[in-house]
Chains A and B, each alone.
Chain A
């Protein structure tokens, strides 16, 4: 590909007068990507998350040992070495393999929480914003009440009642994390609610249900995605905290927080048992934070450089 074709393609992408919807969309995406990729930290964050996805997808290939069955006879609490990169735990299991498989559980938690909490917030926020009046007041009061609660403690109490387990931990985190999404969705709804295109759709006889679903919700998605990405780190930390307290994933699942809890007993002599999974949590949360910051700066120029 010669320099000229690249030049002309860029000109096509950045054109002021796009001739098709596709060209306009690609052009906008290109501008956002340029802003995003200019931010080196954001790229690092993206690489970390891509690495997480790859590790989770190919865990079977990447892990040399089983994550749940260890060699109790020969390999208990071995320090990091050539055979076991991050050492072994008290049941003779390879910690590196457990961390690789643990990536799946981390993704599982994060994705499930996002799938449950974001739509709840989106629904509550758009309905409150579009309906206005009493509906708005009541829905937002409920949102604010939930917003004022201490999240971790409440999630703790929920899991205590529901019983320990990774599904219940997901549910508890989702219940406590939807309110910010509702606020964002409501704010976005209020900005478009009185615009001409909504009036046009109303005149064409669209039902409120259809307007909210087809014409308002899509506009809230991008700010919601940014916020969800920024929240991912918090979700991972809460899930790990629940796992650490024995309320999240149950043994022998290789969940990172639970792995730290089991390494706690040996922390003074065999520190590596707890050190490696904690480092994994730190790196992945950092990745989500960097990616979220980058996305916010690229897609939402208003918030600018904070």
Chain B
């Protein structure tokens, strides 16, 4: 801290230091209020909406003694504001209560299932970005051409299709009819005892241990759900890339580059795309966050044992602690990605360095 202060005092780049400090301060305020907001909403859902929160947590078959104890443990005899304070304190230490269904602490369950979701969403985003960015660039460069039309239709359908329905149809075609992919699960039962995950990302774990048969099996399980999520993010990424590229291609530096005699390829991929890269990082980050959320429906269709399936299973069993814990987990990561991509945008964009 003192180094920054000294720099500021010295005058060299003091404006920049102040700008960075103030934007960091703003970032902190936004982050704290947003997280408090998330906790306030889940508090409201868990404690205010149900007529009897104890019943919502324990179900209606719990013995009276347990109900009384839980009521006291949950602090339901305290005033609202104190309850909320205790709730926030518990949440910050990672205590979301116990799941009725699995009888584990919710946090333990979430740690167990989250890697599966991250693996799926990451692969989906990679697929979406690898196809979506070039598609968007081509659509912008050859505006009005066939490829532009195709990109537009692909994008529009991606915005309009119910993902769980597409997943079901995909299962009919690729699993039942063509038998290209494996049945809905994460890994074949055969490997249940021969394979020990290290990081929880099965593709990575299998590759590290050199178990290529496991890797192939995991791939056959993940490829369809990941491709579907990839399609969703492709629709978004290609549309945004096209609009950023159109914006860049209309700038004067493009005319200057052409006048200089640069090849069209270098102008597009070297100059225009590079300038569009900063907002595109944000877009890809946002689409990653959206996939984390979209995985709820996809995981249900493909019996993928991630956080989405955990939430929907808990929903069906009225396991409110688990539902809200899962909501906070997804919400926290979602908010973190949102905020960080915003911060990244400010730090990466050269124009914000000047002020």
Residues of A within 8 A of B (CB): 141-142, 144-146, 148-154, 156-158, 160-162, 233, 237, 240-241, 244-247, 257, 260, 263-264, 267-268, 271, 274-275, 277-278, 281-282, 285-286, 288-290, 306
Q: Which of B161-183 contact A (CB under 8 A)?
A: 161-162, 164-166, 168-169, 171-172, 175-176
**Measured between alpha carbons, how far is A43 from B50 in the docked complex, in Å?**
46
Question: Chain B 30-48 against A: per-residue CB contact (8 Å), 1 yes, 0 no?
Answer: 1001100110011001100
Judged by a CB distance under 8 angstroms, whether B315 is at the interface is: yes
In the complex, besides A153-B293, A240-B162, 11 extra interface pairs with C-beta distance below 8 angstroms are A153-B326, A156-B315, A241-B297, A245-B315, A247-B315, A260-B165, A271-B172, A282-B161, A285-B159, A285-B162, A286-B160
List of A residues within 8 angstroms of B45 by Cβ: 157-158, 160-161
Assess the A282–B331 pair: CB atoms within 8 A. Answer: no
List of B residues within 8 angstroms of A277 by Cβ: 165
List of A residues within 8 angstroms of B300 by Cβ: 244-245
List of B residues within 8 angstroms of A142 by Cβ: 37
**Measured between alpha carbons, how far is A149 from B292 in the docked complex, in Å?**
12
Total contacting residues, chain B, CB less than 8 A: 54
Assess the B315–A160 pair: CB atoms within 8 A. Answer: yes
Assess the B164–A260 pair: CB atoms within 8 A. Answer: yes
Judged by a CB distance under 8 angstroms, whether B296 is at the interface is: yes
Q: Out of A162, A278, A288, which one reaches B162, CB within 8 Å? A: A278
**Measured between alpha carbons, how far is A148 from B38 in the docked complex, in Å?**
9
List of A residues within 8 angstroms of B334 by Cβ: 148-150, 153
Assess the A233–B159 pair: CB atoms within 8 A. Answer: yes
**Measured between alpha carbons, how far is A271 from B171 in the docked complex, in Å?**
10
Judged by a CB distance under 8 angstroms, whether B234 is at the interface is: no
Nearest CB in chain A: distance from B318 CB, A = 8
Assess the B168–A274 pair: CB atoms within 8 A. Answer: yes
Assess the A148–B157 pair: CB atoms within 8 A. Answer: no
Classify the interface of chain B: helix, strand, loop or mixed: helix
Judged by a CB distance under 8 angstroms, whether B289 is at the interface is: yes
**Known contacts A161-B320, A260-B164, A278-B165: does B156 contact A290 (CB below 8 Å)?**
yes
Q: List the 3 closest pairs (A to B, CB-CB), nearest first.
A: A278-B165, A145-B37, A285-B160
Q: Out of B37, B50, B292, which one reaches A161, CB within 8 Å? A: B50
Nearest CB in chain A: distance from B343 CB, A = 13
List of B residues within 8 angstroms of A158 by Cβ: 45, 49
Judged by a CB distance under 8 angstroms, whether B137 is at the interface is: no
**Known contacts A153-B311, A268-B171: does B165 contact A141 (CB below 8 Å)?**
no
Assess the A152–B162 pair: CB atoms within 8 A. Answer: no
List of A residues within 8 angstroms of B327 by Cβ: 153-154, 156-157
Assess the A149–B41 pair: CB atoms within 8 A. Answer: yes
**Measured between alpha carbons, how far is A236 from B300 in the docked complex, in Å?**
19
Assess the A152–B294 pair: CB atoms within 8 A. Answer: yes
List of A residues within 8 angstroms of B34 by Cβ: 144-145, 148
Assess the B331–A150 pair: CB atoms within 8 A. Answer: yes
Nearest CB in chain A: distance from B172 CB, A = 5
List of A residues within 8 angstroms of B162 by Cβ: 237, 240-241, 244, 257, 260, 278, 281-282, 285
Assess the B165–A148 pair: CB atoms within 8 A. Answer: no
Assess the B156–A289 pair: CB atoms within 8 A. Answer: yes
Q: Out of A149, A161, A257, A268, which one reaches B38, CB within 8 Å? A: A149
List of A residues within 8 angstroms of B171 by Cβ: 267-268
Judged by a CB distance under 8 angstroms, whether B330 is at the interface is: yes
A and B contact pairs by CB, cutoff 8 A, 10 listed: A149-B334, A152-B297, A153-B296, A158-B45, A160-B315, A160-B318, A160-B320, A161-B46, A274-B169, A282-B162
**Measured between alpha carbons, how far is A240 from B327 in the docked complex, in Å?**
20
Chain B residue nearest to A304 (CB atoms) is B246
Chain B residue nearest to A305 (CB atoms) is B246
List of B residues within 8 angstroms of A154 by Cβ: 41, 327, 331
Judged by a CB distance under 8 angstroms, whether B56 is at the interface is: yes
Nearest CB in chain A: distance from B27 CB, A = 13
List of A residues within 8 angstroms of B37 by Cβ: 142, 145-146, 148-149
Q: Out of B294, B297, B316, B323, which one reaches A157, CB within 8 Å? A: B323
